[in-house]
Amino acid sequence: MTPLLDVRDLTKHYGARIGCADVSFTLYPGEVLGIVGESGSGKTTLLNCLAGHQAPDGGSVVFDTRTEGPRDVLSMPEPERRMLGRTDWAFVHQNARDGLRMRVSAGGNVGERLMAVGARHYGNIRERSIDWLDRVEIAADRVDDRPAAFSGGMQQRLQIARNLVTGPRLVFMDEPTGGLDVSVQARLLDLIRGLVRRMGLSAIVVTHDLAVVRLLADRLMVMKDGQVIESGLTDQVLDDPQAPYTQLLVSSVLQV
Protein backbone atom coordinates (compact mmCIF):
# COMPACT_ATOMS: atom_id res chain seq x y z
CA MET A 1 0.00 0.00 0.00
CA THR A 2 1.35 3.45 -0.95
CA PRO A 3 1.49 5.81 1.99
CA LEU A 4 -0.60 8.95 1.51
CA LEU A 5 2.06 11.09 3.10
CA ASP A 6 5.71 10.19 3.61
CA VAL A 7 7.71 12.66 5.66
CA ARG A 8 11.50 12.36 5.95
CA ASP A 9 13.83 14.37 8.20
CA LEU A 10 11.72 17.52 8.17
CA THR A 11 13.65 20.34 9.84
CA LYS A 12 12.84 23.97 10.49
CA HIS A 13 15.04 26.46 12.35
CA TYR A 14 14.14 29.92 13.54
CA GLY A 15 17.60 31.42 13.44
CA ALA A 16 19.62 29.51 16.02
CA ARG A 17 16.51 28.03 17.64
CA ILE A 18 14.97 24.76 16.59
CA GLY A 19 11.38 24.79 15.31
CA CYS A 20 11.28 21.09 14.65
CA ALA A 21 14.13 18.71 13.87
CA ASP A 22 14.44 15.49 11.85
CA VAL A 23 10.77 14.56 11.98
CA SER A 24 9.96 11.43 9.96
CA PHE A 25 6.71 9.50 9.71
CA THR A 26 4.37 7.90 7.21
CA LEU A 27 0.62 8.30 7.07
CA TYR A 28 -1.55 5.73 5.32
CA PRO A 29 -4.96 6.40 3.73
CA GLY A 30 -7.76 6.51 6.30
CA GLU A 31 -5.38 6.92 9.21
CA VAL A 32 -5.51 9.65 11.83
CA LEU A 33 -2.23 10.75 13.34
CA GLY A 34 -2.19 12.75 16.56
CA ILE A 35 0.69 15.05 17.48
CA VAL A 36 0.83 16.05 21.14
CA GLY A 37 3.27 18.06 23.20
CA GLU A 38 3.43 21.12 25.39
CA SER A 39 3.32 24.69 24.09
CA GLY A 40 6.46 25.55 22.14
CA SER A 41 7.31 21.94 21.37
CA GLY A 42 7.13 22.54 17.60
CA LYS A 43 3.75 20.96 16.87
CA THR A 44 2.32 23.89 14.99
CA THR A 45 5.60 24.57 13.17
CA LEU A 46 5.57 20.98 11.99
CA LEU A 47 1.97 21.22 10.82
CA ASN A 48 2.60 24.50 8.97
CA CYS A 49 5.63 23.01 7.24
CA LEU A 50 3.62 19.98 6.16
CA ALA A 51 0.76 22.08 4.85
CA GLY A 52 3.06 24.39 2.91
CA HIS A 53 2.32 27.48 5.01
CA GLN A 54 5.96 27.68 6.05
CA ALA A 55 9.04 26.64 4.10
CA PRO A 56 11.08 24.03 6.02
CA ASP A 57 14.89 24.16 5.96
CA GLY A 58 15.34 20.54 5.04
CA GLY A 59 13.71 17.17 4.50
CA SER A 60 11.03 15.93 2.16
CA VAL A 61 7.24 15.63 2.21
CA VAL A 62 6.00 13.16 -0.38
CA PHE A 63 2.24 13.18 -1.04
CA ASP A 64 0.43 10.56 -3.09
CA THR A 65 -1.39 12.80 -5.60
CA ARG A 66 -4.52 11.63 -7.35
CA THR A 67 -3.23 11.99 -10.87
CA GLU A 68 0.55 11.67 -10.78
CA GLY A 69 1.26 9.41 -7.83
CA PRO A 70 3.78 10.22 -5.07
CA ARG A 71 5.37 13.65 -5.44
CA ASP A 72 7.57 15.81 -3.25
CA VAL A 73 5.36 18.67 -2.14
CA LEU A 74 8.26 20.91 -1.18
CA SER A 75 9.81 20.93 -4.65
CA MET A 76 6.43 21.28 -6.36
CA PRO A 77 5.75 24.56 -8.21
CA GLU A 78 3.71 26.95 -6.13
CA PRO A 79 0.57 26.92 -8.34
CA GLU A 80 0.32 23.14 -8.00
CA ARG A 81 0.88 23.25 -4.26
CA ARG A 82 -1.80 25.89 -3.84
CA MET A 83 -4.13 23.86 -6.03
CA LEU A 84 -3.49 20.90 -3.75
CA GLY A 85 -4.25 23.17 -0.80
CA ARG A 86 -7.76 23.80 -2.03
CA THR A 87 -8.63 20.39 -3.44
CA ASP A 88 -6.98 17.37 -1.82
CA TRP A 89 -5.90 19.10 1.38
CA ALA A 90 -7.79 20.91 4.05
CA PHE A 91 -6.59 22.97 6.97
CA VAL A 92 -8.70 23.53 10.06
CA HIS A 93 -7.37 26.39 12.14
CA GLN A 94 -7.55 26.55 15.91
CA ASN A 95 -9.29 29.90 15.72
CA ALA A 96 -12.24 29.68 13.33
CA ARG A 97 -11.74 33.37 12.50
CA ASP A 98 -8.42 32.52 10.82
CA GLY A 99 -10.04 29.96 8.55
CA LEU A 100 -13.29 31.75 7.71
CA ARG A 101 -14.14 34.89 5.82
CA MET A 102 -16.01 36.72 8.52
CA ARG A 103 -17.69 39.20 6.16
CA VAL A 104 -19.01 36.53 3.82
CA SER A 105 -22.16 34.51 4.51
CA ALA A 106 -21.96 30.88 5.66
CA GLY A 107 -23.05 29.70 2.22
CA GLY A 108 -20.37 31.80 0.54
CA ASN A 109 -17.76 30.47 2.93
CA VAL A 110 -18.61 26.88 2.07
CA GLY A 111 -18.95 27.67 -1.63
CA GLU A 112 -15.59 29.43 -1.90
CA ARG A 113 -13.59 26.26 -2.47
CA LEU A 114 -16.10 25.08 -5.07
CA MET A 115 -15.83 28.37 -6.93
CA ALA A 116 -12.04 28.25 -6.60
CA VAL A 117 -11.97 25.01 -8.56
CA GLY A 118 -14.31 26.31 -11.22
CA ALA A 119 -17.95 25.87 -10.12
CA ARG A 120 -19.98 28.55 -11.89
CA HIS A 121 -23.58 27.55 -11.28
CA TYR A 122 -25.13 29.47 -8.39
CA GLY A 123 -27.95 27.01 -7.77
CA ASN A 124 -25.63 24.01 -7.54
CA ILE A 125 -23.13 25.81 -5.32
CA ARG A 126 -25.88 26.84 -2.96
CA GLU A 127 -27.36 23.37 -2.88
CA ARG A 128 -24.04 21.82 -1.94
CA SER A 129 -23.43 24.52 0.67
CA ILE A 130 -26.74 23.77 2.34
CA ASP A 131 -26.04 20.04 2.15
CA TRP A 132 -22.73 20.54 3.93
CA LEU A 133 -24.19 22.87 6.54
CA ASP A 134 -26.66 20.11 7.27
CA ARG A 135 -23.88 17.56 7.64
CA VAL A 136 -22.19 19.70 10.28
CA GLU A 137 -25.51 20.30 12.02
CA ILE A 138 -26.07 23.92 11.04
CA ALA A 139 -29.69 24.69 10.14
CA ALA A 140 -30.32 25.46 6.46
CA ASP A 141 -31.93 28.81 7.30
CA ARG A 142 -28.59 30.10 8.61
CA VAL A 143 -27.02 29.80 5.16
CA ASP A 144 -27.15 33.55 4.52
CA ASP A 145 -25.97 34.60 7.99
CA ARG A 146 -22.43 35.78 8.48
CA PRO A 147 -20.13 33.71 10.69
CA ALA A 148 -19.96 36.65 13.11
CA ALA A 149 -23.54 35.79 14.08
CA PHE A 150 -22.54 32.21 14.94
CA SER A 151 -21.39 30.78 18.27
CA GLY A 152 -17.81 29.57 18.63
CA GLY A 153 -18.79 25.93 18.16
CA MET A 154 -20.86 26.72 15.08
CA GLN A 155 -18.00 28.72 13.59
CA GLN A 156 -15.70 25.75 14.06
CA ARG A 157 -18.25 23.41 12.43
CA LEU A 158 -18.66 25.88 9.58
CA GLN A 159 -14.91 25.91 9.10
CA ILE A 160 -14.93 22.13 8.88
CA ALA A 161 -17.75 22.17 6.32
CA ARG A 162 -15.91 24.78 4.26
CA ASN A 163 -12.82 22.58 4.22
CA LEU A 164 -14.46 19.26 3.46
CA VAL A 165 -16.77 20.40 0.67
CA THR A 166 -14.28 19.58 -2.09
CA GLY A 167 -13.80 16.06 -0.74
CA PRO A 168 -10.15 16.33 0.41
CA ARG A 169 -8.12 13.25 1.28
CA LEU A 170 -5.88 14.80 3.92
CA VAL A 171 -6.99 17.16 6.66
CA PHE A 172 -4.62 19.14 8.86
CA MET A 173 -6.15 20.18 12.15
CA ASP A 174 -4.52 22.61 14.55
CA GLU A 175 -6.16 22.33 17.99
CA PRO A 176 -9.63 21.90 16.45
CA THR A 177 -11.34 21.98 19.85
CA GLY A 178 -9.24 24.69 21.47
CA GLY A 179 -11.21 27.45 23.14
CA LEU A 180 -14.52 25.60 23.17
CA ASP A 181 -16.34 24.51 26.31
CA VAL A 182 -16.36 20.81 27.12
CA SER A 183 -19.87 19.88 25.99
CA VAL A 184 -19.38 21.65 22.66
CA GLN A 185 -15.96 19.99 22.40
CA ALA A 186 -17.54 16.57 22.87
CA ARG A 187 -20.11 17.15 20.10
CA LEU A 188 -17.48 18.54 17.76
CA LEU A 189 -15.24 15.54 18.36
CA ASP A 190 -18.16 13.23 17.68
CA LEU A 191 -18.82 15.07 14.45
CA ILE A 192 -15.20 15.02 13.31
CA ARG A 193 -14.88 11.34 14.15
CA GLY A 194 -18.03 10.55 12.18
CA LEU A 195 -16.91 12.55 9.14
CA VAL A 196 -13.40 11.10 9.18
CA ARG A 197 -14.71 7.55 9.34
CA ARG A 198 -17.47 8.03 6.77
CA MET A 199 -15.36 9.85 4.20
CA GLY A 200 -12.29 7.69 4.80
CA LEU A 201 -10.21 10.78 5.45
CA SER A 202 -6.66 10.84 6.64
CA ALA A 203 -5.94 13.48 9.21
CA ILE A 204 -3.09 14.97 11.17
CA VAL A 205 -4.37 16.43 14.42
CA VAL A 206 -2.17 18.70 16.50
CA THR A 207 -3.34 19.21 20.04
CA HIS A 208 -2.22 19.48 23.63
CA ASP A 209 -5.39 17.75 24.79
CA LEU A 210 -4.78 14.03 25.35
CA ALA A 211 -8.51 13.30 25.43
CA VAL A 212 -8.84 14.55 21.86
CA VAL A 213 -6.19 12.20 20.52
CA ARG A 214 -7.55 9.31 22.59
CA LEU A 215 -10.86 9.74 20.75
CA LEU A 216 -9.65 10.63 17.27
CA ALA A 217 -6.17 9.33 16.60
CA ASP A 218 -5.03 5.89 15.53
CA ARG A 219 -1.41 6.71 16.08
CA LEU A 220 0.37 9.23 18.20
CA MET A 221 3.59 11.23 18.11
CA VAL A 222 4.84 13.01 21.23
CA MET A 223 7.01 16.07 20.66
CA LYS A 224 9.31 17.95 22.98
CA ASP A 225 11.73 20.75 22.09
CA GLY A 226 11.21 20.19 18.38
CA GLN A 227 12.02 16.48 18.50
CA VAL A 228 9.73 13.46 18.32
CA ILE A 229 10.45 11.61 21.56
CA GLU A 230 7.93 8.84 21.30
CA SER A 231 5.51 7.43 18.76
CA GLY A 232 3.23 4.45 18.39
CA LEU A 233 -0.39 3.37 18.59
CA THR A 234 -2.43 5.84 20.59
CA ASP A 235 -3.59 3.44 23.28
CA GLN A 236 -0.13 1.99 23.60
CA VAL A 237 1.53 5.37 24.08
CA LEU A 238 -1.08 6.67 26.45
CA ASP A 239 -1.43 3.51 28.55
CA ASP A 240 2.21 2.53 28.63
CA PRO A 241 4.32 5.64 28.11
CA GLN A 242 8.04 4.94 27.84
CA ALA A 243 9.71 8.35 27.64
CA PRO A 244 9.89 10.27 30.93
CA TYR A 245 8.26 13.31 29.37
CA THR A 246 5.33 11.27 28.05
CA GLN A 247 4.88 9.75 31.49
CA LEU A 248 4.77 13.25 32.94
CA LEU A 249 2.29 14.36 30.28
CA VAL A 250 -0.06 11.42 30.85
CA SER A 251 0.07 11.77 34.63
CA SER A 252 -0.60 15.51 34.40
CA VAL A 253 -4.12 15.02 33.07
CA LEU A 254 -6.62 16.18 35.66
CA GLN A 255 -9.11 13.57 36.77
CA VAL A 256 -12.62 14.58 37.63
Which sign, positive or negative, has the C-alpha torsion 90, 92, 96, 99? Answer: negative
Of residues 56 through 95, those in contact with another protein by CB under 8 A are 78-79, 82, 86
Scanning 45-53, 57-65, 111-119, 153-161 for contacts with another protein by CB under 8 A, the matching segment is 111-119
Among 126, 128, 208, 214, binds another protein (CB under 8 A): 126
Strand, coil or helix: 135 = helix
- Residues in contact with another protein, counted by CB under 8 A, come to a total of 24
Scanning 103-111, 130-138, 180-188, 209-217 for contacts with another protein by CB under 8 A, the matching segment is 103-111
Alpha-carbon gap, residue 159 to 233, rounded angstroms: 28
Does 123 bind another protein (CB under 8 A)? Our answer is yes
Scanning 122-130, 161-169, 189-197, 225-233 for contacts with another protein by CB under 8 A, the matching segment is 122-130
Minimum distance, C-beta of residue 231 to another protein, in the bound complex (Å): 36
CA distances to 90, 112, 175, 180, 183 from 151, in Å: 22, 21, 17, 10, 13
Does 122 bind another protein (CB under 8 A)? Our answer is yes
Which sign, positive or negative, has the C-alpha torsion 253, 98, 114, 161? Answer: positive
Torsion, Cα 232 234 240 246, to 10 degrees, reads 80
Does 143 bind another protein (CB under 8 A)? Our answer is yes
Minimum distance, C-beta of residue 66 to another protein, in the bound complex (Å): 19
Alpha-carbon gap, residue 171 to 45, rounded angstroms: 16
Cβ pair 23, 9 in contact under 8 A: yes
Name the site residues for another protein (rule: CB under 8 A).
Answer: 78-79, 82, 86, 101, 104-105, 107-108, 111-113, 115-118, 120-123, 125-126, 143-144
